[in-house]
Amino acid sequence: MDYEIREHKKRVGIYRAPLFSNINGTRSKTVAPIKVIKQIRPVKSGDGFTLMELLVCIAIFAILLTGVLGSFAATTRAVKSSREKTILSSLSTNYLEIIRNMPYGQVGTINGSPNGGLPDFTNAYSQNINGIVYKIYYEVTYIDDPADGTALAGTDPYPADYKQVKMDILNTSTNQINSFFTNVVPKGLEGTVNQGALQIQVIDSQGNPIPGVNVHITYPTTTPSIILDRLTDSTGQWVEVGLPPAAHNYRVVVSKTGYSQDQTYAVTAQNPNPLHPDATVAVGQVTKITFSIDLISNLTIKTLNAVCQPLNGVNLNILGAKLIGSSPNVYKYNNNYSSGPASYGAGLISLPSTEWDTYTPTLLTGQSVITYGTSPIQQITVLPNTSQTFTMILGVNSTSQSLLVVVKDASSSTALENASVTLTDGGSFSQTLLTGGSVWVQKDWSGGSGQANWSTSTPGQYFQDNGSVDVSTSGQIKLTKIAGNYTSATGTLESSAFDTGTNATNYTILSWQPPSQSASTTVAFQVAANNDNATWNYVGPDGTSATYFTTPGQDMGSTLDNNEFFRYKVFLSTIDKTKTPTLTSVNANFVTGCFTPGQVIFTGLANKTYYVTVSMPGYTTQSNVAVTVTGNQFFPVLMSP
């Protein structure tokens, strides 16, 4: 039994208890004074906390709770601060680059002195990023450099030595202003005679500077020839001074291991108007050139027949969208290839060092096959540092006339599956086909969480959320509302697993409604796929967990391909507690087997005018659209809700 020892205030006695010690094997008795409490009683089972104990416990809990809430708030502030710094870094790099590429005499503001074309506060640029409007404006002043005397001392008769540009970036949501400075020098270079300079700037596909890039400069017509190799600094720049003057004779090539390459080009008969001509160096002037490179990617082209078997020896032209010359257009990437096991594997063309660009593979003439469809449709956009696949379904070219009809959503350019396409000639010929591919659509989440696998009998359920989303309204996801304000925490929701029925699945387009959100709010997605219905690694458009799908109609790439089970994860956030993002539907397009998304082909046609009618539930029917068929033809149809 437990006992509580209490001191009796009136009766306190001293009792000497015997103590035994063992000395030389014998026990001797000693006494020591101890205080003995006279009253001992059992503790009753009904005794609880005293008031003081309860208050102490509450105080300790409050202290711990304050620490937890403080840590959460600090983390939230750190995330917002990091995002703001990233945005400001990108904006400052891009908009300072405008100044660096302007002639010195034009560096000035619209209503300022010196006068020029840069916007001041009244005429500020506006940039909308994730629903936040940033205003960018400039202030330009002349600087009197004391190195050559000053106007104040009367030792410098020309005090306007160079210009200082102050660039302000205003966050209209917080009214916070961040300022950036750069100096702009005139063309004249002191201390040089009959010499000029080259200023090289290297940026990536997002406009960010790239340090450590090799800058290879050659000028072969001098004796001896000039051959220079330099590295860009932390700002992605290199300035080479003391160069002899020459008109369009300096070849500049920028490169870095694992990156694409950019360069200047000579004026030739094949490229009479290069966009980046070989550089000119003039006496006393700085020639500025900006190059753009980024991490290389892997592109695989598959050539298959109508039953998904690889076709070898298919001759293709692969054309990029980037130009190195105009009038006429000269493309940076324009090459011919042949699929097959000798070089790439059965039915494959493998391009392991591909620059980010949009590529269009097309059949070369004189072959016995025609294109029945492609995935993605017609072309593929290759992002930096990704691995992506373009599949071509080919059929026997039994006739010189065919019509490939591609049906897309007008607002998002998403391929529409199972659309009915009817082709007639206005007489006896009429044929109806359904566009290939499939799409999983979810328009309701009000059934709540807890469903691991999606089912047609319970289409309004999902797997789980983090408690910061509201799905109570049928056909809508939004942030939760607490005490009249929407939560500032990011709301996440994971879908149930959707079974495509086969691991021979090619995931194509992810889209959602509405396509745009109110200012200060964002909707973003990541997707995942597997064959065990258990391992869910969510990724963005570059195939990693570091990116997000933020624009409807983006291609999901090839990272998810050849997996049977699919899920999406949506992220809702706001920086304005009076506003919430909303989501009303999600469309995940995929192709199984050899079907092609949103496409049908009509073969065996005559050389004449036909009429196309396309219908699909939820869209306005396109009726009797005339198309004249001559050869193997491609015909897009845009459908509006």
In a domain, 495, yes or no: yes
Q: What is the pLDDT of residues 600-625, one digit of tens each?
A: 888 888 889 999 999 998 899 999 99
Rounded to whole angstroms, the Cα distance separating 278 from 218 reads 10
Q: State which residues form the domain around 634.
A: 398-435+595-641
Classify each residue of 605-638 as buried b or exposed e, where b means 16 or more C-beta atoms within 10 Å of its C-beta: beeeebebbbbbeebeebeeeeeebeebbebebe
CATH number at residue 620: 2.60.40.1120
How far, in Å, are 382, 463, 508 from residue 505 at the CA level? Answer: 20, 22, 10
Write the DSSP string, 134-173. Answer: EEEEEEEEEE--TBTB-TTTT--S----EEEEEEEEEETT
For residue 466, the model assigns a pLDDT of: 96
- Residue 557: pLDDT band with limits 50, 70, 90: confident
Average pLDDT of the chain to the nearest whole number: 83
For residue 276, the model assigns a pLDDT of: 92
Is residue 3 pLDDT above 60, yes or no? Answer: no
In a domain, 213, yes or no: no
Q: What is the pLDDT of residues 476-518, one digit of tens each?
A: 999 999 999 999 999 999 999 999 888 888 888 888 988 889 8
Residues 573 and 449 in one domain: yes
Residues 468 and 527 in one domain: yes
For the segment 217-241, the average pLDDT, to the nearest whole number, is: 81
In a domain, 126, yes or no: no
**Which of 65-79, 246-260, 430-444 has the highest mean predicted lDDT (pLDDT)?**
246-260
**Looking at the DSSP assignment, which residues form a beta bridge with residue 80?**
none
Q: What is the pLDDT of residues 512-552, one digit of tens each?
A: 988 889 889 999 999 999 999 999 999 999 999 999 999 88
Q: What is the pLDDT of residues 102-161, one digit of tens each?
A: 887 788 778 655 667 888 888 888 888 888 899 999 887 666 667 665 434 545 555 456
Rounded to whole angstroms, the Cα distance separating 585 from 470 reads 15
Determine which of 26-40, 61-75, 137-151, 191-205 has the lowest per-residue pLDDT on average.
26-40
Residue length of the chain: 641
Residues 520 and 456 in one domain: yes
- H or E element in which residue 68 lies: helix 51-100
Q: Among residues 574, 592, 610, which one ends one of the domains?
A: 592
Residues 537 and 635 in one domain: no
Residues 524 and 637 in one domain: no
For residue 155, the model assigns a pLDDT of: 57
Residues 414 and 456 in one domain: no
Is residue 391 pLDDT above 70, yes or no? Answer: yes
Q: Among residues 555, 574, 592, which one ends one of the domains?
A: 592
For residue 76, the model assigns a pLDDT of: 66
Q: What is the pLDDT of residues 258-284, one digit of tens each?
A: 999 999 999 999 999 999 999 998 887
For residue 453, the model assigns a pLDDT of: 96
For residue 35, the model assigns a pLDDT of: 47
Only one residue has tokens 């016995």, namely: 368
- Torsion, Cα 136 142 147 151, to 10 degrees, reads -160
For residue 427, the model assigns a pLDDT of: 86
Residues 559 and 625 in one domain: no
In a domain, 308, yes or no: no
For the segment 238-265, the average pLDDT, to the nearest whole number, is: 89
Which token pair is 159?
């005090």
In a domain, 207, yes or no: no
Given a contact cutoff of 8 angstroms between Cβ atoms, the answer to whether 599 and 434 are in contact is no
For residue 250, the model assigns a pLDDT of: 92
Residues 573 and 556 in one domain: yes
Residues 470 and 500 in one domain: yes
For residue 107, the model assigns a pLDDT of: 83
In a domain, 450, yes or no: yes
Number of domains in the chain: 3
Question: pTM here?
Answer: 0.55
Residues 455 and 576 in one domain: yes
For residue 160, the model assigns a pLDDT of: 55
In a domain, 402, yes or no: yes
For the segment 74-93, the average pLDDT, to the nearest whole number, is: 76
Cβ-based neighbours of 633, under 8 Å, separated by 6 or more? 401, 402, 403, 404, 627
Q: What is the pLDDT of residues 316-325, one digit of tens each?
A: 999 999 999 9
173 class by beta-carbon count within 10 Å (0-12 exposed, 13-18 middle, 19+ buried): middle
Q: Among residues 592, 611, 627, which one ends one of the domains?
A: 592
Residues 464 and 557 in one domain: yes
Question: Torsions phi, psi of 557, nearest 5?
Answer: 75, -170
For the segment 154-171, the average pLDDT, to the nearest whole number, is: 71
Rg (CA), the chain: 36
- Residue 454: pLDDT band with limits 50, 70, 90: very high
- Residue 6: pLDDT band with limits 50, 70, 90: very low
Residues 444 and 414 in one domain: no
Determine which of 28-42, 253-267, 468-482 has the lowest per-residue pLDDT on average.
28-42
Cβ-based neighbours of 78, under 8 Å, separated by 6 or more? none
Q: What is the pLDDT of residues 331-354, one digit of tens each?
A: 999 999 999 988 888 999 999 999
Is residue 447 pLDDT above 60, yes or no? Answer: yes
In a domain, 480, yes or no: yes
